Amino acid sequence: MLKSKTFLKKTRAGGVMKIVREHYLRDDIGCGAPGCAACDGSHEGPVLEPQPLDPASSLCPRPHYLLPDTNVLLHQIDVLEDPAIRNVIVLQTVLQEVRNRSAPVYKRIRDVTNNQEKHFYTFTNEHHRETYVEQEQGENANDRNDRAIRVAAKWYNEHLKKISAENHLQVIFITNDKKNKEKAIEEGIPAFTCEEYVKSLTANPELIDRLACLSEEGNEIESGRIIFSEHLPLSKLQQGIKSGTYLQGTFRASRENYLEATVWVHGDTEDDKEIILQGLKNLNRAVHEDIVAVELLPKNQWVAPSSVVLHDEGQNEDDVEKEEERERILKTAANEKMLKPTGRVVGIIKRNWRPYCGMLSKSDIKESRRHLFTPADRRIPRIRIETRQASALEGRRIIVAIDGWPRNSRYPNGHFVKNLGDVGDKETETEVLLLEHDVPHQPFSQSVLSFLPKMPWSITEKDMKNREDLRHLCVCSVDPPGCTDIDDALHCRELENGNLEIGVHIADVSHFIRPGNALDQESARRGTTVYLCEKRIDMVPELLSSNLCSLRCNVDRLAFSCIWEMNHNAEILKVRFTKSAINSKASLTYAEAQMRIDSAAMNDEITTSLRGLNKLAKILKKRRIEKGALTLSSPEVRFHMDSETHDPIDLQTKELRETNSMVEEFMLLANISVAKKIHEEFSEHALLRKHPAPPPSNYEILVKAAKSKNLEIKTDTAKSLADSLDRADSPTFPYLNTLLRILATRCMMQAVYFCSGMDNDFHHYGLASPIYTHFTSPIRRYADIIVHRLLAVAIGADCTYPELTDKHKLADLCKNLNFRHKMAQYAQRASVAFHTQLFFKSKGIVSEDAYILFVRKNAIVVLIPKYGLEGTVFFEEKDKPKPRLIYDDEIPSLKIEDTVFHIFDKVKVKIMLDSSNLQHQKIRMSLVEPQIPGISILADTPNMDIDEPERKKKKREK
């Protein structure tokens, strides 16, 4: 049956166009209930259970299915995801509304409907002849959709009577809309609010905690005084932004001070990029990462960024007077120059709330259900939740979601979502750091896995189309020990004309991940593989990452090859790119490859190939450094794990071999060659990577630090920096050069992906290359997959698709990739920090030599080379007499009593784990040498050794 709408539309040119919208109605759409004779065989995907064995409800004891409306889906998704809730009918009307209003919730509901065990059924009510409703005259879209949902609920109840009158199957309509519920009951539809239904599930009391607390706007003023001013409606905010009265920007809360935040103003103008907000009322209920509208305060009310550290740790949750007192502390007398544009939040344009990890601060009031939750991220305010399981949740990591923030409440309201486990537990803490850094780490869904090749897999004739067979070549891979996702392999052989042929062969991931499918979308969302200390979060499913795409030895694999012809002086004579099939002859570790190169007894084909590669790599590196490429240093840490408990038992900095450098040189060369090729072919939409030159001010600390040791560092170009770092040597202090390079790394900008059509500056500062991209790691980086697709189109090995040549879409993709890479980096650092804490927890208290990296006003930041560990030694402690401190920013130096500290000075520190704050455990460092009365501590605490027998340890502890 066909319904059609016809209307006229005026075109830009002034003409009139007739538009006909056709809407097909069918009567073969299944209801989702198995055993229904009327709809037999017309169900697709997961279906409802024939006899719902759901938890007993005191309101509706009969077996039933649930049918929620849009608002229930949007706000109570945490309840619906709970394993206790099954057999839910999701209407097309509801799904479309959710899709328009919240992409994250839409994704979550799609995942639930794809989960076979949940029995969620999507019913296409808008195309069913008996449930389709047309919008009536004078009816708005919202009312029409509410009516459509009620019509579907009524139809279901009538329809299910036909299946089995004796089963008494029912469909319960769940809505939090008062009017909608009343109308449903009038029409004979069993209807309840979400809260009523959840509270009726007597066997599942824990579900009540997961209910989102939705205070009705009118009721929020009843209790207590108004603390915050009202948020302006969106229409007023948009007018104000247009007229320049208000500014739109991203709200960034401070980690150090909960009464201060900054707003980064959106727009192209460089001036006034940042606005300071100080005080609770000016922050006006904005949460970190929200998009807000800000009003600038008059200049006489501008303030300077505060240097006070304030953490919200008070137990009395609504003591606003105390807050006002604390705000006065912030307003210290400031120099005119220090004042920054200051403003206040007048409204919220977009909330960017997410579920937050943290711990429960149990209320002191006995039997109280209301408690405060303290997030792990200090930038997020504490959240008030209601829970009946406070005692069970104490000392555990939990997840909480924010529901709203009324004007009369000091804190936002939220609800409990999930218990992650005990604080300090390895699995729990890993989950927390993945969630807090927004690393997608759920198992791959069925829809994603459905696009993987069927096993057993082998290369077919079709696969070899547009592909060269290079399986005869002596190719080998060199990687860290235990590496299973092998992206790259190399070969080197002498040609008849005396020149050398070098090949870099990269896993052909883009052959398996086709544009636009669910596997491609999920890989693009993840953006990168995340390597934690004991865990790898793959960007692509394991079948690809560790098997079909991994260039393991003695198996045929598909690759994308970059092949150069070079002379013996490593000068490129020719370069070609081809899709290929290879068969690696050896998978070596860096140490094994180094041993082959060094061993005079070995002269097989693989070893000869490695020696040729190593010789050329040395020439390439020398040439690159001559051009001004930087060789910087960062202390990378490697843990040695106990084979049974998987706890770290030793901690050391990673050793780099010549073979590390060999592989790196050819990867860089391949990336540069591919960057030139794709930019030549697609000047407007090549995906490239740039590394901006740091502003001169970034180098101040490095120059001053070198000067204090009578060395000169020049920073006008990358070449002069590289040369002066090479010259900065001290025969009496061999570690000084490494320290300078570590400090130089801190001065650098972040390298980023960008689209060539949206930027003019392509230069990569650190590599001293005019153009660069990422091509060599497609198993672990999505950027490389896009580069593979561009290169494949450039050489005619694959076809293009619209998104690949849309520079705006590419720019958006780059934005996500840059975010994911940054978060992966932070997550990796957090993982190292956590494992370092575990190490020192078992190691006890140790004293080690350290070097000063930075001096602060009341502290020194030190690096301990033995562990590659960085930490801060504070000289002002609570409840202790304050020492005499003189800080000189020019040198820089810090004088404590009569001892002066400069950057790079050698000190001795005591390291121990401070567990006084369970949520934020940290490594504490105290000064041992030089001896300063009242500051230094004695080093006579015995070092506890991990290898000591358990009995001895216990004795010592006594």
- Going by C-alpha positions, the residue among 360, 353, 421 that lies closest to residue 212 is 353
pLDDT at 678 over 90: yes
pLDDT band at 346, cuts 50/70/90? Answer: very high
| Inter-residue contact 477 to 587 (CB < 8 Å) | yes
- The two beta strands, 846-855 and 752-755, are unpaired
Q: Counting Cβ atoms within 10 Å, is residue 930 exposed (0-12), middle (13-18) or buried (19+)?
A: middle
pLDDT at 372 over 80: yes
Helices and strands in the chain: count of H runs, count of E runs: 24, 37
pLDDT band at 943, cuts 50/70/90? Answer: very low
pLDDT band at 222, cuts 50/70/90? Answer: very low
Q: Span 671-685, mean pLDDT?
A: 94
Q: 454 in helix, strand or coil?
A: coil
Class of domain 234-312+321-420: mainly beta
The tokens describing 723, both together, are 């040369």
Q: Span 870-897, mean pLDDT?
A: 76
Query: Is the peptide bond prior to 456 cis by the omega test (within 30 degrees of 0)?
Result: yes
pLDDT at 646 over 80: no
Q: Counting Cβ atoms within 10 Å, is residue 886 exposed (0-12), middle (13-18) or buried (19+)?
A: exposed
Q: Lowest-confidence range among 30-39, 280-289, 624-633, 799-808?
A: 30-39
pLDDT band at 221, cuts 50/70/90? Answer: very low
* CATH T-level assignment (fold) for domain 24-210: Rossmann fold (3.40.50)
Degrees, nearest 5: CA angle 709-930-907: 55
CB atoms under 10 Å from CB of 716, counted, come to: 9
- DSSP structure string for 210-263: GS-----GGGGGSSS---SPPPPPHHHHHHHHHHTSEEEEEEEE-SSBTTEEEE
Of 859 and 180, the structure prediction assigns the larger pLDDT to 180
pLDDT tens digits, residue range 54-72?
667 788 888 888 999 999 9
CATH for 844-929 is 2.40.50.140
Q: Span 135-147, mean pLDDT?
A: 87
| Residues in CB range of 680: below 8 A, 6 or more apart | 794
Q: Which residue reads 């784990």 in tokens?
A: 913
The pTM assigned to this predicted structure is 0.79
pLDDT at 880 over 80: no
pLDDT band at 367, cuts 50/70/90? Answer: low
Q: Check residue 871 and give its pLDDT.
A: 81
Q: How far is CA 673 from CA 539, 563, 682, in A?
A: 25, 10, 14
C-alpha 7/C-alpha 25 separation (Å) is 20
DSSP 8-state assignment for residue 769 = B
Q: Lowest-confidence range among 88-102, 142-156, 599-613, 824-838?
A: 824-838
Q: Lowest-confidence range among 205-209, 320-324, 767-771, 891-895?
A: 320-324
Sign of CA dihedral 53, 55, 61, 66: negative
First to last CA, the chain: 86
When mean pLDDT is compared over 171-180, 500-509, 527-536, the highest value belongs to 500-509
pLDDT band at 947, cuts 50/70/90? Answer: very low
pLDDT at 790 over 60: yes
- Type and span of the H or E element at 4: strand 2-10
pLDDT band at 635, cuts 50/70/90? Answer: low
Q: Check residue 218 and give its pLDDT.
A: 38
Q: Counting Cβ atoms within 10 Å, is residue 196 exposed (0-12), middle (13-18) or buried (19+)?
A: middle
| Residues in CB range of 429: below 8 A, 6 or more apart | 397, 423, 834
Q: Check residue 279 and give its pLDDT.
A: 86
Residues in the chain: 958
Q: How far is CA 709 from CA 634, 736, 737, 857, in A?
A: 21, 9, 11, 21
pLDDT at 219 over 50: no
Q: How far is CA 438 from CA 76, 498, 822, in A?
A: 21, 53, 11
pLDDT tens digits, residue range 429-449?
888 889 888 899 989 988 899
Q: Check residue 309 and give its pLDDT.
A: 60
| Inter-residue contact 80 to 73 (CB < 8 Å) | yes
pLDDT tens digits, residue range 720-754?
888 888 887 777 777 888 888 888 888 888 899 99
| Inter-residue contact 306 to 278 (CB < 8 Å) | yes
pLDDT at 511 over 60: yes
pLDDT band at 666, cuts 50/70/90? Answer: very high
| Inter-residue contact 379 to 254 (CB < 8 Å) | yes
Q: Span 561-568, mean pLDDT?
A: 94
Of 612 and 951, the structure prediction assigns the larger pLDDT to 612
The tokens describing 605, both together, are 């084909």
Query: CA-based Rg of the chain, rounded to a whole angstrom?
Result: 32
C-alpha 863/C-alpha 847 separation (Å) is 13
Q: How far is CA 83 from CA 55, 80, 104, 115, 249, in A?
A: 11, 8, 20, 11, 39
- Going by C-alpha positions, the residue among 377, 268, 279, 378 that lies closest to residue 329 is 279
- Going by C-alpha positions, the residue among 410, 648, 645, 375 that lies closest to residue 532 is 648
- Going by C-alpha positions, the residue among 246, 234, 240, 229 that lies closest to residue 343 is 246
C-alpha 19/C-alpha 40 separation (Å) is 37
The tokens describing 375, both together, are 């997030």
| Inter-residue contact 48 to 65 (CB < 8 Å) | yes
pLDDT at 550 over 80: yes
DSSP 8-state assignment for residue 699 = G
C-alpha 696/C-alpha 702 separation (Å) is 11
| Inter-residue contact 405 to 285 (CB < 8 Å) | yes
Q: Check residue 926 and give its pLDDT.
A: 83
Degrees, nearest 5: CA angle 667-670-673: 150
| Residues in CB range of 829: below 8 A, 6 or more apart | none
For the chain, percent helix, then strand, then coil, each to nearest 5?
30, 25, 40
Of 296 and 39, the structure prediction assigns the larger pLDDT to 296
Q: Span 134-143, mean pLDDT?
A: 86
Q: How far is CA 687 from CA 7, 175, 826, 836, in A?
A: 43, 47, 24, 37
DSSP 8-state assignment for residue 695 = P
pLDDT tens digits, residue range 393-420?
888 899 999 988 988 888 999 988 888 9
What is the rounded average pLDDT for all residues in the chain?
Answer: 83
C-alpha 811/C-alpha 803 separation (Å) is 11
pLDDT band at 594, cuts 50/70/90? Answer: very high
Q: Alpha helix (H) ranges present in 844-910?
A: none
Q: Check residue 777 and give its pLDDT.
A: 93
Q: 384 in helix, strand or coil?
A: strand
The percentage of the chain sitting over the pLDDT mark of 90, rounded to a whole number, equals 32
Q: Span 347-353, mean pLDDT?
A: 90
Of 947 and 708, the structure prediction assigns the larger pLDDT to 708
